[in-house]
Structure 1
Amino acid sequence: MLPGRRARGFTLVELMVSVTLLAILLAVAAPSFASWIRNTRVRTTTQVLQDGLRLAQAEAVRRNRTVSFFLTNVANPTATSAAAANGSNWGVRTLTLITGETAELVRSGALAGVVAGVNITGPSAVCFNAAGQQVANATEGCAIDPTSPTVTYDVAHGSAVAGVDRSLRVTASLGGRVRMCDPAKTLSATNPDGC
């Protein structure tokens, strides 16, 4: 070093203090990050369910025939895949009108691989008629409860922390209105995202 020049850089003590402060900040933020990840997975699953229901409804109107949105545990759903409540995959298919006609798979997708740890509670299938309204179909497993005709899918993370993590809900009304809402809130003018 030349005389009169001051050394530049960090001392070992300054570096250790910085690393210690960084470690403390990460330890404090880690639980928030974990909760954020769980909530993002729930939101993604709920969005996929809502989009799938809306796709089935739009296809029913476009094709002028009954279309089904279904959950299944089949890895690559087909038009003949069995519907299963709380399935890990989803599909949209047309329903047959006459004997001998084959159903057509419109689109399908995965839920389990994208959103690990998320639980879905709801029916195995929802059917829409040519007017975009819910319709019962015993063969497909689409049922309408006369006392509560709105179909509900509740989505929550399996390891959710009460009061920290949130669950979401997708509903499809008898008239065909599909929406996502927060079951922890009551629907009102100040809470339009409430259920």
Structure 2
Amino acid sequence: MKRTSGFTLVELMITLTVLAILLVTGIPSFREWLRNTHIRTAGESIQNGLRYARGEASSRGVNVRFEFTSPGAGWTVCALAGTTSCTAAAAASADNTLQNFVAAGGSADVAPMVSTSIGAAASPLSTAASAGSGITFNAMGRPIGYGTVALSRIDLNTAGKDGRRLVIQVSPGGMPRMCDPNLSLATSPQACK
């Protein structure tokens, strides 16, 4: 009698069971990784927008504003021509809007929390970014109203979910810095001050 090669039903069932167990145990880790990636992407976008606004203010010699456009991580950068908000600047002239970022995909789930003072990064903020909250840079690239009306700190986390939190701090000189409040300065340069 000739023996045919192949898998028996028992071998196939064991393989599928092991594969299912591996998938079920890996899905929570994958979701956490994906959520952390969304937070990092939104944070880098906001940090780049702040740097762009600061650079444009210096190069153009006018006040330039970084402003959140929605409750999510969407934002706009505009040149202020006698106005105090990007909405008013866009209404005055479409040329005043320099750059827009529409939070799409996973970045739309990121919920920025804002404050006008840097404070202790270890404690999370509780005021959500609203449309119109932002920071204006003068012709020297410094924030106008630092510590009073200009955003000095932005906390990023996914809306309604526990997970990693990143913090963007804007210095009195206008430089944004993204840091991780869960790290220690003694062991990592990415920790918050």
1:95 aligns with 2:77: no
2:35–2:106 Cα contact (<8 Å) kept: no
The counterpart of 1:58, out of the listed 23, 41, 55, is 55
4+ long deviations beyond 6 Å: none
Cα offset, 1:117, TM superposition: 2.4
SS in structure 2 of the partner of residue 135 of structure 1: coil
SS in structure 1 of the partner of residue 173 of structure 2: coil
The counterpart of 1:173, out of the listed 151, 171, 174, is 171
Taking structure 2 as the reference length, the TM-score comes to 0.77
- 2:141 aligns with 132
Cα offset, 1:119, TM superposition: 0.9
Cα offset, 1:97, TM superposition: 4.7
Cα offset, 1:16, TM superposition: 0.7
Cα offset, 1:69, TM superposition: 0.4
1:114-153 equivalences under 5 Å are 114-122=106-114, 124-136=133-145, 144-145=146-147, 151-153=152-154
Distance in 1 of aligned mates of 2:82 and 2:160: 43
1:150–1:174 Cα contact (<8 Å) kept: no
2:72–2:108 Cα contact (<8 Å) kept: no
The counterpart of 2:100, out of the listed 84, 108, 116, is 108
1:132–1:176 Cα contact (<8 Å) kept: yes
Specify the structure having the higher radius of gyration (Cα).
Answer: 1
1:38–1:160 Cα contact (<8 Å) kept: no
- 2:34 aligns with 37
Higher percent of residues as helix: 2
CA RMSD of the aligned region, Å?
A: 2.5
Distance in 1 of aligned mates of 2:165 and 2:66: 22
Distance in 1 of aligned mates of 2:167 and 2:178: 6
2:73–2:108 Cα contact (<8 Å) kept: no
- 2:122 aligns with none
Cα offset, 1:88, TM superposition: 4.6
The one-letter amino acid paired with 2:110 is V
Kindly provide the CA deviation profile for residues 32-69 of structure 1, in whole angstroms up to 9, marking residues without a partner as x.
11111111111111111101101101111121211000
The one-letter amino acid paired with 1:111 is A
Kindly provide the CA deviation profile for residues 3-34 of structure 1, in whole angstroms up to 9, marking residues without a partner as x.
5x531221111111100000011111111111
Cα offset, 1:186, TM superposition: 3.7
Mark the runs of 5 or more structure 2 residues left unpaired by the alignment.
84-91, 116-132
Taking structure 1 as the reference length, the TM-score comes to 0.76
